[in-house]
Amino acid sequence: MRLATWNVNSIRSRLDRVLSWLDRGDIDVLAMQETKCRDDQFPTERFEEAGYEVAHIGLSQWNGVAIASRIGLDDVEIAFPGQPGFDKDAATSLLPAPVVEARAVGATCGGMRVWSLYIPNGRALHDPHYAYKLEWLAALRASTARWLAENPSAQIALCGDWNIAPTDDDVWSPEFFEGKTHVSEPEREAFRSILDTGFSDVVRPFAPGPGVYTYWDYTQLRFPRREGMKIDFILASPALAARVTDARIDRDERKGKGASDHAPVVVDTTE
């Protein structure tokens, strides 16, 4: 089975590129983030013509997550239990579910529970969105811990744009990012806390750093200068991690006209 995650940065802008890559890469399941469209705007028919079923949640031109699978798509779940919401106009930014953004969708694909996740950016350390990000990650940790407690042999993949660089090796310049989001200790601790529940980063052993990134800003010639960040991950439950045979970051997909600012991340598993 070949599983991938990719922040496509607008599926309508990059549809042909994504479908071509799915075919060339022989991808069974793709988790997508930042689809940037409503459900009625998502190009479902084009994916179906290519042999994929799709689950998508999109509420506006922002955020949006999807799963495309050619090996089955069952038990679709929009948002994970306890996922908090964000209201940019409220005096307080934290709202209880079900007032949630389009940042999480789960489905069972070929016996594997796949989650496509777009973790909040955080914006700045003193922005309400940063507090929201930490609350969001805490809620996700609670869900992951419960899933494994209920079924230690569960096959679960947490795929997506985490908007966290877990170590200094995951950014091109720790000095440049000092005092910014994505690298702060509370964010890194939140990421580690999910690993502490039993999940593991199954890509890093095959694509270790430093200098191995998944995201490069469009500005300042970041890509040709190799000034990137590793913020896209596939975290696997213990039972799924034991099946992983290979993984890679497809840096070539960041090249050329019309590329997303993120590269796809791919994991191969045994049947």
- CATH classification at residue 65: 3.60.10.10
Pinpoint the alpha helices (H) of the chain.
15-25, 44-49, 128-150, 174-177, 185-196, 238-241
CA nearest to 263, candidates 14, 8, 1, 3 = 8
52 flagged as catalytic:
no
pLDDT at 100: 77
CA distances from 92 to 97, 126, 133, 241, 258 (A): 14, 13, 14, 39, 38
Query: How many alpha carbons fall within 13 Å on the CB side of residue 205?
Result: 12
Give me the catalytic one of 170, 201, 262, 268.
Answer: 262
CA distances from 20 to 16, 17, 23, 155, 216 (A): 6, 5, 5, 28, 22
Query: Which residue ranges make up the annotated binding site?
Result: 7, 34, 161, 163, 261-262
Residues in binding site for Mg(2+) = 7, 34, 161, 163, 261-262
Give the active site residue among 52, 56, 161, 170.
161
Residues 46 and 231: their CA atoms lie apart, in Å, by 28
pLDDT of residue 93: 47
Count the domains in the chain: 1
Structural domain including 159 reads 2-269
What average pLDDT does the segment 64-68 reach? Answer: 98
CA angle 137, 209, 216 (to 5 degrees): 70
Q: Cα(161)–Cα(179) distance, rounded to whole angstroms?
A: 21
pLDDT at 130 over 70: yes
Task: Report whether 30 contacts 116 (CB < 8 A).
Answer: no
Residue 256 pLDDT exceeds 70: yes
Q: Read off the pLDDT of residues 138-168 as tens digits, 9 standing for 90 and up.
A: 999 999 999 999 999 999 999 999 999 999 9
Residue 75 known to be catalytic? no
Specify the 3-state DSSP secondary structure of 121: coil
Question: 0.75 cut: is pTM over it?
Answer: yes
Give the pLDDT score at 98: 38
- At residue 271, the pLDDT reads 82
State the distance between the two ends of the chain, measured CA to CA, in whole angstroms: 6
Examine the residue annotation and report whether 161 is marked as an active-site residue of this protein: yes
Q: Is the dihedral of CA 235, 77, 149, 28 positive or negative?
A: negative
Across the chain, what does the average pLDDT equal? 95
Catalytic residue among 28, 56, 118, 232: 118
